[in-house]
Amino acid sequence: MILFFLPTILTAQSKFDTVSFEIKRKNKVIGQVSATRIANGAIELYKVDGNIDKGTLLVNTMKYKLYVEYRYGKLYKSDLKIFVNNQLHKDTQIISNGNNYVTTIKGGRKKEFKKPITFSSVQLLFRAPNRVKKTFSEGKLRYREIFQDDKNKNSYSLGDSASHIDCYYQYDQGRLVLIQIRDIVDFDLVEK
């Protein structure tokens, strides 16, 4: 999908950023995640690929594919697919039609909303959310609150409320070095 858009934005002025993480569970590497950001003027493209190939109790394999496109500082479209044990587990799309967004889950259920999306979860991989209070989740298709740690200004947590936190982000000089996911299966993403 990203290759279709590359010729239209790739120029000598294009800026590329890539980050890579190991996925760890109980200090054992079970997979990896790589993400790329390409920016050129008013267009930003994000591509994230991840996989778990050393099973856990509930998951033998998992593949994660996310494509996000921003235009003029606003989310234009997003496409997320997650495969668990080779079966499609999550399939979400977001597309702007100019005045609002249409979200689709697994090709069926649709929802529209108008609030512009100017910051979404994929951007957390590339920059600390300084002064950002909410992020739009491409997977959950809703806004989630961001809380900055009072003791460590380089740490942020993400959740539906202050009492329901499930992600922790640690930055070092603006660069993401650790994500801790606390959900059905707990795991960490550690910068390579």
Of residues 16 and 164, which shows the higher confidence score? 16
Q: Is 126 inside a domain boundary?
A: yes
pLDDT at position 168 over 80: yes
pLDDT at 4 (0 to 100): 46
What is the value of pTM for the model shown? 0.89
Q: Which domain holds residue 88?
A: 16-191
pLDDT at 186 (0 to 100): 85
Summarised one tens digit per residue, pLDDT across range 113-148 is 888 999 999 999 999 999 999 999 999 899 999 999
Q: Is 52 inside a domain boundary?
A: yes
Whether residue 78 contacts residue 90, with contact meaning beta carbons closer than 8 Å, is answered with no
Q: Is 49 inside a domain boundary?
A: yes
Q: Is 9 inside a domain boundary?
A: no
Number of domain units in the chain: 1
Summarised one tens digit per residue, pLDDT across range 109-120 is 788 888 899 999
Q: Is 139 inside a domain boundary?
A: yes
Q: Is 135 inside a domain boundary?
A: yes
Q: Is 2 inside a domain boundary?
A: no
Q: Is 8 inside a domain boundary?
A: no
Whether residue 157 contacts residue 149, with contact meaning beta carbons closer than 8 Å, is answered with yes
